[in-house]
Amino acid sequence: MTETLPPRTSDLPAKWNPGEVEGGMYQRWVERGYFEADPSSDRPPYCIAIPPPNVTGSLHLGHAMDHTLIDILTRRRRMQGYDTLWLPGMDHAGIATQSVVERRLADAGEPTRRELGREEFVRRVWEWKAESGGAILGQMKRLGDGVDWSRERFTLDEGLSRAVQTVFKRMFDDGLIYRAERLVNWSPALQSAISDIEVDHKEVEGELVSMRYGDGDAEIVVATTRVETMLGDTGVAVHPDDERYAHLVGRTVRMPITGRDIPVVADPYVDPEFGSGAVKITPAHDPNDFEMGRRHGLPMPTIMDESGRITGTGTRFDGMDRFAAREAVREELRAQGRIVAEKRPYVHSVGHDSRTGVVIEPRLSLQWFVRVEALAKAAGDAVRNGDTTIHPADMSARFFDWVDNMHDWCISRQLWWGHRIPVWYGPDGETVCVGPDEEPPTGEGWARDEDVLDTWFSSGLWPFSTLGWPDKTEDLERYYPTSALVTGYDILFFWVVRMMMFGTYAMGATPFRHVYLHGLIRDEHGRKMSKSKGNVIDPLELIDAYGADALRFTIARGSNPGTDMSLSDEWVAASRNFTTKLWNATRFAIANGADAAAGLPATESLTDADRWILGRLHQVRQQTDALLEDFQFAKATEGLFHFTWDELCDWYIELAKPQLADPASTTAANTRAVLGHVLDALLRLLHPIVPFVTEALWTGLTGGESVVVAAWPTDAGLAADPAATERVLAVQRLITEVRRFRTEQGLPDRRSVAAKLGGLEAAGLAGHERAVRFLTRLDEPGDDFAPTATVEIGNTHVEIDTSGAIDVAAERARLGRDLAAAQKELDAAEKKLGNPKFTEKAPANVVDGIRARREAAAADIARVTARLEALPSS
RNA sequence: GGGCGCGUAGCUCAGCGGGAGAGCACUCGGCUUACACCCGAGCGGUCGCAGGUUCGAACCCUGCCGCGCCCA
């Protein structure tokens, strides 16, 4: 009896309560140092740097996706014996953080940023950073992130600031960073320059106004969507070959309103087919006009201030907002009879500040730039020559398109929160760039540049600055280049490309061997989540409701490379159900003495079911490995889900029940060993995806210290047994058909039904009768056995005593459906085989397969037809 | 305007040259000692449309329609 069972019994609670357990479990993992890297170890290194979240935000589902996928990769490597480092940290998010703190000051009725002064304001931001950053760290712990907390970094910490200054100085000296007066994307909302990729071009309905400059024989018509810019016009351009205007080139026309005389120039940029064929030139407020202005040496007056108000034109429009001025100037021109035509609405593309949504105003100003040509080429080469592989490969096209056509990068921002540009200007026009170990110039008239660097400048150094660069640290030596980068495709240009540019420049090597770009998480209908739509889901709420494992499993299961995924409460609930299923199955196994330490019995002593499940485990393990190596998270997860639920739980555990019925038997002992072995391996395979529930179950099953540091399953040396598998599949078909018959005859599961099984011996299934009876609830026939129906499956049949008349109509319907299906199959097969071209050209194995299907279908038809004819007429 | 991608069961998505699949939803039956967050059985699809290639096309090619993303 029970004394033959192993003494250990399950102390797992009946129900898995993630909320009660996860926190303490995570704490123990950290305390035991499982997540800490050890550069002195002789194990191979594996390193991933976290995509640093904005310190001022909070983690959303996109982060949860990053973190889940990185955790899967790093937990697996750790189990495989790698010295694994997942390095955590945050970036300072210059604009976002400064904006938040300014708003908080305003909300609290405190002095403004300018009233506080730079030093005091920055001190306040650090206070906010401590508060906001702490919340993010808590979120990461809830998710179960296996990060090395001892190596946490922040883009504005001392070491990383030193890295920024070092790179800046080196690039400045190399001529890769320069300062120039250029037309930049100016955000009147942020009152700062922003880079090209922080601008979104959107189609808007505006107006196209044609107006007449000059008078008499020196008159010319130009069109614009921004009438107010005419206040800054310093020229009119026509195409050199345009005979209509040849007589005007070289002359001047008199501007309305300002009364300035501006030259008419010839420039091949002008499209003579568009509009009147003449364009106005506002060099300080339009990129194309700026280039033309330069070519023709035109003056470049700035007519707007930093917040987008007209200034310095000496007209009554000074002080007016640019959009108000647009109307006012237009009406003034109309009053003067200068409007020739108006097109409204006129749909055209307008740049918007991607953060605030306000319309960008091109603005002439003195800014710092990175000369990107050589850097971008090096980044492109890293992918071209295979040092870095982009997954999925389709994304490489976008990558190349970008790096091959990159413009210089504006890196200065008119903010206070960030890395201040390490350049001092002297009283006599000197410019001195100061390295980290150098003293800045002092004395009368010297002043430091007021601006800070784009946050992406510092996060671009992340893969090596976090490892200690510019010092030659042990970590840097060991973990750079990092093994992989996992992030969303939406920041390929913002971040990934920049890291590759800086990495190849500063380190001489691309920062990561693999880049996995995942998609975005959308709502249940595939819509983007946004506050305005009100469809944002907070990952913490999902974790509270269903546990971290359920959220992680959902994300892993939905993460197909390069495509977005939909997520809703229901998906996560389904994943929670999976963890519950796993919990119950393992508890059942432990309660029945599953023994992971027993070692696998000799194959000869195992049942077909044992051999089948072990063979499937072997396949699933191989498949999981191959898929995870290839960043195919969804397929790997789906495969484990299917194996766990549809094979292990639905079939093996059910088949194991009769095998366990006599605990003293060898069969039962073997079954306990197989159950233990399979679950031990399965829990380890699942651990990277669902770390918490597998930890509870694996330690409960094996008594081991922690699955976090357990060995990743490897080949157990099992030979596949196709014959056993074939028999198990035949048993499954047999059972399913009997169940189908029972259901359609309305025979309740509890109702005792006697039956006689036939043909099992001939089909090689003699040993499975007990299992079939157990899973179909068929009793042994008694003395009064009087079969009323027969179910045939292949060469086996089951005579069933339904104790009374059967439902002939239901049976006729059931058989009728079977007949129709078989007939359809037969027709399809015969059609193919009747085509001589098919039999000639198709591969032999395909033709043989179709022939076999034809035979099977024909046999089915004969059997079912006979059965139908034998039915009593109703 | 240029480039990329997607249209497969009610919903979300796999499959990408030889028997149309999964999860959720739905219908019917069941609290059968692992699990009702469950079990069993089922219903559900001219694989966007039209041509072409092929013995054979959801899958390859062309065009069209619809949707999305990136870049200008």
State ipTM.
Answer: 0.95
Positions in chain B where some atom is under 7 Å from a protein CB: 3-5, 11-14, 18-19, 22-25, 28-32, 34-35, 37-43, 54-56, 69-72
For residue A463, what pLDDT is reported?
A: 96
- Domain(s) labelled CATH 3.40.50.620 in chain A stretch across 47-176+372-408+456-518
CA A482, A488, A490: angle at the middle one, nearest 5? 125
If phi > 0 it is left, if psi is from -120 to 50 it is alpha, else beta; for residue A117 that is left
The residue among A211, A218, A255, A203 whose CA lies nearest residue A233 is A255
Q: Tell me how crowded residue A349 is: count the other CB atoms within 10 A of its CB.
A: 9
The residue among A616, A596, A609, A726 whose CA lies nearest residue A659 is A609
Binding-site residue positions of A for ATP: 531
**CA→C1' distance for A585 and B16 (Å):** 36
Contacts of A869 (CB under 8 A, 6+ apart): none
- Domain(s) labelled CATH 3.90.740.10 in chain A stretch across 192-362
Give CA torsion, residues A164, A167, A172, A173, to 10 deg. 140
Binding-site residue positions of A: 531
Residue in the structure block whose two tokens are 């098919």: A838
The amino acid sitting at A338 is R
Nearest nucleotide to A580 (CA to C1') is: B37
Please tell me whether any atom of strand B lies within 7 Å of the Cβ of A110: no
The residue among A646, A699, A671, A652 whose CA lies nearest residue A592 is A671
Please tell me whether any atom of strand B lies within 7 Å of the Cβ of A27: no
DSSP β-bridge partners for residue A218: A215
Nearest nucleotide to A837 (CA to C1') is: B55
| Nearest protein residue to nucleotide B5, judged by CA and C1' positions | A563
The residue among A427, A404, A310, A408 whose CA lies nearest residue A367 is A408
Nearest nucleotide to A524 (CA to C1') is: B12
**CA→C1' distance for A651 and B42 (Å):** 20
CB of A87 closer than 8 Å to CB of A139: no
Residues 504-523 of A with CB within 7 A of strand B: 522
Residue in the structure block whose two tokens are 């389904």: A574
Nearest nucleotide to A650 (CA to C1') is: B39
Distance of CA A532 to the CA centre of its chain: 22
For residue A310, what pLDDT is reported?
A: 87
Please tell me whether any atom of strand B lies within 7 Å of the Cβ of A563: yes
**CA→C1' distance for A850 and B22 (Å):** 26
Q: What is the rounded distance in angstroms from the CA atom of residue A259 to the CA atom of residue A246?
A: 23
For residue A86, what pLDDT is reported?
A: 97
**CA→C1' distance for A867 and B59 (Å):** 40
The amino acid sitting at A641 is F
DSSP β-bridge partners for residue A304: A310
The residue among A810, A791, A807, A808 whose CA lies nearest residue A799 is A791
CATH superfamily membership of A192-362 = Valyl/Leucyl/Isoleucyl-tRNA synthetase, editing domain (3.90.740.10)
- Domain(s) labelled CATH 1.10.730.10 in chain A stretch across 550-710
| Nearest protein residue to nucleotide B35, judged by CA and C1' positions | A584
The amino acid sitting at A389 is T
CB of A468 closer than 8 Å to CB of A159: yes
Domain A550-710: CATH class, spelled out: mainly alpha
For residue A533, what pLDDT is reported?
A: 74
DSSP β-bridge partners for residue A342: A209
Please tell me whether any atom of strand B lies within 7 Å of the Cβ of A566: yes
Q: What is the rounded distance in angstroms from the CA atom of residue A73 to the CA atom of residue A627?
A: 11
Please tell me whether any atom of strand B lies within 7 Å of the Cβ of A413: no
Is residue A502 within a helix (H) or strand (E), and if so which, with residue range? helix A497-502
DSSP β-bridge partners for residue A522: A528, A566
Measured CA distances, A534 to A64, A392, A624 (Å): 19, 31, 37
Q: What is the rounded distance in angstroms from the CA atom of residue A448 to the CA atom of residue A83?
A: 44
DSSP β-bridge partners for residue A447: A425
Please, which contacts does A734-740 make with residues 24 or more away whose CB atoms are closer than 8 Å? A734/A765, A734/A772, A734/A793, A734/A794, A734/A796, A734/A798, A735/A772, A735/A775, A735/A776, A737/A791, A737/A793, A738/A772, A738/A776, A738/A778, A738/A791, A738/A793, A738/A798, A738/A800, A739/A776, A740/A814
| Nearest protein residue to nucleotide B17, judged by CA and C1' positions | A842
CB of A225 closer than 8 Å to CB of A345: no
Q: What is the rounded distance in angstroms from the CA atom of residue A808 to the CA atom of residue A869?
A: 12
Q: What is the rounded distance in angstroms from the CA atom of residue A192 to the CA atom of residue A809?
A: 80
Q: What does the buried/exposed string (b/e) look like for A178-201 if buried means 16 or more CB atoms within 10 Å of the residue's CB?
A: ebeebbbbbbbbbebbbbebbbee
Going by DSSP bridges, is the β-strand pair A89-90/A83-87 parallel, antiparallel, or unpaired?
unpaired
Name the token pair of A76. 């697996």
Please tell me whether any atom of strand B lies within 7 Å of the Cβ of A349: yes
**CA→C1' distance for A663 and B32 (Å):** 21
Residues 468-507 of A with CB within 7 A of strand B: 490, 493
Is residue A550 within a helix (H) or strand (E), and if so which, with residue range? helix A548-558
DSSP β-bridge partners for residue A666: none
Measured CA distances, A456 to A411, A666, A863 (Å): 9, 65, 73
Choices 3.40.50.620, 3.20.20.70, 3.50.50.60, 3.40.50.170: CATH for A47-176+372-408+456-518: 3.40.50.620
If phi > 0 it is left, if psi is from -120 to 50 it is alpha, else beta; for residue A336 that is alpha
For residue A144, what pLDDT is reported?
A: 95
Residues 598-637 of A with CB within 7 A of strand B: 635
**CA→C1' distance for A395 and B64 (Å):** 27
The residue among A462, A371, A367, A464 whose CA lies nearest residue A423 is A367
Contacts of A343 (CB under 8 A, 6+ apart): A207, A208, A209
3-state secondary structure of A90: strand
Please tell me whether any atom of strand B lies within 7 Å of the Cβ of A750: yes
Cα separation of the two ends of chain A? 53
Name the token pair of A376. 């971008």
CB of A153 closer than 8 Å to CB of A89: yes
3-state secondary structure of A343: strand
Q: What does the buried/exposed string (b/e) look like for A614-625 if buried means 16 or more CB atoms within 10 Å of the residue's CB?
A: bbbbbebbebbb
DSSP β-bridge partners for residue A87: A49
For residue A271, what pLDDT is reported?
A: 82
**CA→C1' distance for A60 and B48 (Å):** 35
**CA→C1' distance for A629 and B14 (Å):** 19
Instruction: Kindly give the parts of chain A with pLDDT less than 50.
Output: 1-9
